[in-house]
Structure 1
Amino acid sequence: MTAAVVLRRAVPADARAAADVWLRSFDTSLPTVVRPRTDDDVRGYFRDVVVPLRETWVAETAGEGRGIVGVMVLNGDLLSQLYLDPEWRGRGLGDRFVSLAKERNPQGLTLWTFQVNKPAHRFYERHGFVAVEYTDGSGNEEREPDVRYVWQP
């Protein structure tokens, strides 16, 4: 049986767990992408910037052993982060997060993902996002070629 999962706004106490989801997901999904920041840098960024200054949502399991298993960050119409704990992929959490992002930004959304992340491309395209720009990665700190997606209602 799958534990119930609640989507809710992040609070300061969630920052470390949300960063840890990001770290596990990034390392599992993007093994060829070099992270320019240490784990502690990422945790500090979530603590000092992401949770207090962005519209940050978490997916939290209910009941015994509850914990954060997903994180989504909105910055205006930019869906800037959507990461799931690797063990929680394929259970509909990403779909729920994208639905929430569309509810929060009914006028449209944009996002960036790395070109090597083909599963993300398929996921976002399934949700109506269209690739509109490809870059050589010179605009991101990983220096990894990326693609910008747009969703318009």
Structure 2
Amino acid sequence: MTSVRPATASDLPACAGIINDYIDATPWLPRTITREALEELFTPALLESRIVLVADNDNAIAGYASLDDKAGFLHALYLRPEARRRGVGKALLDATKAARPRGFELTVFEPNTDALRFYLREGLIEVPEGRETDTEENVPTLLMRWKGNAA
């Protein structure tokens, strides 16, 4: 059974591992930061500046979302491979929508067609003028927006 809850400091190493493993397993996504440097970003200070939610599946972190509530920007939503297509991403996105009912934006790497389909299915829209080709990874991104409950 999957539950979504606010992350604690003890969850942060698992979150760092999820994104590090995703980068390593994704052929079109070059690593621009070492595993160690990325792990160092997941400190308790992150919990003070962002809303970090984790999907807890039988006492194991199956995925996480990181939202900057002030800017209305979802910086990350990543899952372990075995958690995909099992409702975990939807649970995290629904919790993000509940945490930010007035809407938010995110970027998705253009080659990540599974994520793009997921976000479109879940009510986000692409913002065409937000396509970015000059990224750190040299992989184009698309800007997506969820307009919130008032939309």
| Unmatched segments (≥5 aa) in structure 1 | none
What's the C-alpha RMSD, in Å, of the aligned pairs?
1.5
3-state DSSP class of the match of 1:82? strand
User: Which amino acid is the alignment partner of residue 5 of structure 1?
Assistant: T
- Matches of 1:34 and 1:50 in 2, distance apart? 24
Q: For residues 13-92 of structure 1, what are the structure 2 equivalents within 5 Å? A: 13-28=10-25, 30-47=26-43, 49-62=45-58, 66-76=59-69, 77-92=72-87
TM-score by length of structure 2 reads: 0.88
Deviations 1:60-99 (A, max 9, x none): 122xxx3111010110211110000001101101111111
TM-score normalised by structure 1 residue count: 0.87
Q: Is the 8 A contact 2:55 2:91 kept in 1?
A: no
Query: Structure 2: 5+ residue runs without aligned partners?
Result: none
- Residue 28 of structure 2 aligns to a residue whose secondary structure is coil
For 1:67 and 1:113, the matched residues in 2 are separated by: 25
Q: Secondary structure at the match of 1:141?
A: coil
Give yes or no for the alignment of 1:126 onto 2:121. yes
Distance 1:32 1:95 in 2: 24
Q: How far apart are the structure 2 equivalents of 1:56 and 1:100? A: 10
Deviation at 1:14, TM superposition (A): 1.1
Tell me if the contact between 2:23 and 2:30 (Cα under 8 Å) persists in the aligned partners.
no
Contact 1:16/1:43 (8 A) holds in 2? yes
